[in-house]
Structure 1
Amino acid sequence: MNIREWPAQERPREKLLLRGAGSLSDAELLAVFLGSGVRGRNVLELARGLLRRFGGLRQVLEADREAFVSELGLGPVRFSQLQALLEIGRRHLALAIERESAMDSPQAVRRYLKAMLRHEASEVFGCLFLDTKHRPLVFEILFRGTIDRASIYPREVVRRALLHNAAALILCHNHPSGSCEPSQDDVHLTQVLKRSLALIDIRVLDHVIVGEGEPLSMVEHGWLAG
């Protein structure tokens, strides 16, 4: 059945306008983004098929170009549109914390760091550099590794902090396995970086680990004390 023949309140786009984006299912949200279906499949059927094929909305959003464009009804134009949409979302989160102290909006900071790291297939390590009022200056991914390990060099972290004239920073890295639980190496590295940066009067405010679900804050779990 053509989606135009559905009652208006059941069509994804009209439903969004009537009830808000939060009322839509993953398939309906994806259908609004896709805009139209393909021969023999309306846009909602196409969206549901993509969710089954990739395993969920997140997997669709994080699919690489080759996998995405190989699917029937998708192509480089839609892939480009999707990448632009994701980058708009990341920049929106960045703007939400840009003029606030990171300590006044820790949840917003963690949402931003999750958006920056959760799509990475291998382990990466980054820093959110902060000014004297703990407002964000810049975010950088400093190291990339294999699927479960990235080699971190404290001297490079110190160098980048000095380059940005940072007064403080928030460390972050991802766990592609999904678990946010820190390893002993994670805790040890955090302490090493904290001591190294303290020598030049730069504070480490937190170390955030991004995996599945909510990011983990080391400071909230007491792993940044001492």
Structure 2
Amino acid sequence: MADKDQLLTPSIPTEQPRERLLRLGPGALRADELLACIMQSGNGRQTVFDIAHALLENVGGLYALVDTEVAELLNVPGIGRAKAIQIAAAIELGRRIAQKPSETRLQIRTADDAARYVMDRMRYLKKEHFVTLLLDTKHRLVAEETCSIGSLDASIVHPREIFRRAVRRVASAILCVHNHPSGDPTPSPEDIAVTERLMQAGRVLGIDVLDHLIIGDGRFISLRAAGYMDK
């Protein structure tokens, strides 16, 4: 869902966004103004604000940019190869910064802890992303790995890939998370089957699968709490 102020018809301010950013800081700028700073200029037919506004409308708002590919950016009127690359690079930088564990190393004590950590980043994704949180013996976050990106309604997950990364990071436990783009976190038969396979593989390797969370729009389901991991 797009924020209302991101899809309003933009008005060109008398003070350009770069000057406002320098004077007030980036937090004072709207989403279209931040995009204008990244893209820097318009073209002969559109101002940079027109292009920024068209981009937000086309992808469905600011949060949808996280899952927008370069090819999709190129379909937006006014965005060519150079601007698409600038935007994609800025999005990826933001994603990597958001995924960096804090210096104090977040401790995942409960499903709520894990859900709070990923919710804002995963609830708006348009495709299923399967993510593993790799944890040490005290369940502190060692790393976060995106293991699979599926279609709108399915995600293919290979236990060998998930546990290869866990072994490489010397993780003693993992917690799995994936999103449902529909917003409904109800587990599917495939979700339950994948969880069972991962639990079996984890037992062989001595790496605990603590839980599997399904993220919806502002809510989640823990397969552990729901009783699917009691076997």
Q: TM-score, normalised by structure 1?
A: 0.71
User: Cα deviation per residue 1:174-222 (whole Å; 9 max; x = unaligned)?
Assistant: 32334333235424543553465245542223323244x3362516954
CA gap 1:22/1:90 in 2 versus in 1, 3 angstroms: same
Counterpart in the other structure of 1:118: 125
CA gap 1:51/1:200 in 2 versus in 1, 3 angstroms: closer
Counterpart in the other structure of 1:85: 90
Counterpart in the other structure of 2:154: 149
Counterpart in the other structure of 1:176: 181
Letter in 1 for 2:114: P
Q: Aligned equivalents of 1:154 and 1:177: distance in 2? A: 25
Counterpart in the other structure of 1:50: 55
Do the aligned partners of 2:51 and 2:79 also contact (CA within 8 Å) in 1?
no
SS at match of 2:210: strand
Shift of 1:68: 1.9
Q: Aligned equivalents of 2:97 and 2:42: distance in 1? A: 29
Q: Aligned equivalents of 1:40 and 1:146: distance in 2? A: 36
The number of equivalent residue pairs is 217
Shift of 1:132: 1.8
Counterpart in the other structure of 1:214: 218
Shift of 1:172: 1.8
Q: Aligned equivalents of 1:183 and 1:62: distance in 2? A: 23
Q: Aligned equivalents of 2:205 and 2:147: distance in 1? A: 19
Cα-Cα RMSD: 3.7
User: Cα deviation per residue 1:82-106 (whole Å; 9 max; x = unaligned)?
Assistant: 2221221122123234651331663
Percent of aligned pairs sharing the same letter: 32
CA gap 1:179/1:135 in 2 versus in 1, 3 angstroms: same
Q: Aligned equivalents of 2:120 and 2:59: distance in 1? A: 24
Letter in 2 for 1:140: E
Q: Which structure would you say has the larger RCO, counting Cα contacts within 8 Å and 6 or more residues apart? A: 2
Shift of 1:44: 1.9
Runs of 4+ aligned structure 1 residues displaced above 6 Å come to none
Q: Which segments of 5 or more consecutive residues in structure 1 lack a partner in the other structure?
A: none
Letter in 2 for 1:118: L
Q: Which segments of 5 or more consecutive residues in structure 2 lack a partner in the other structure?
A: 1-10
Letter in 1 for 2:125: R
Counterpart in the other structure of 1:106: 114
CA gap 1:66/1:196 in 2 versus in 1, 3 angstroms: closer
Comparing 168-177 and 101-110, the one that deviates more: 101-110
Shift of 1:63: 3.3
Do the aligned partners of 1:169 and 1:205 also contact (CA within 8 Å) in 2?
yes
Shift of 1:20: 4.4
SS at match of 1:96: coil
Letter in 2 for 1:95: K
Q: Aligned equivalents of 1:110 and 1:63: distance in 2? A: 18
Q: TM-score, normalised by structure 2?
A: 0.69
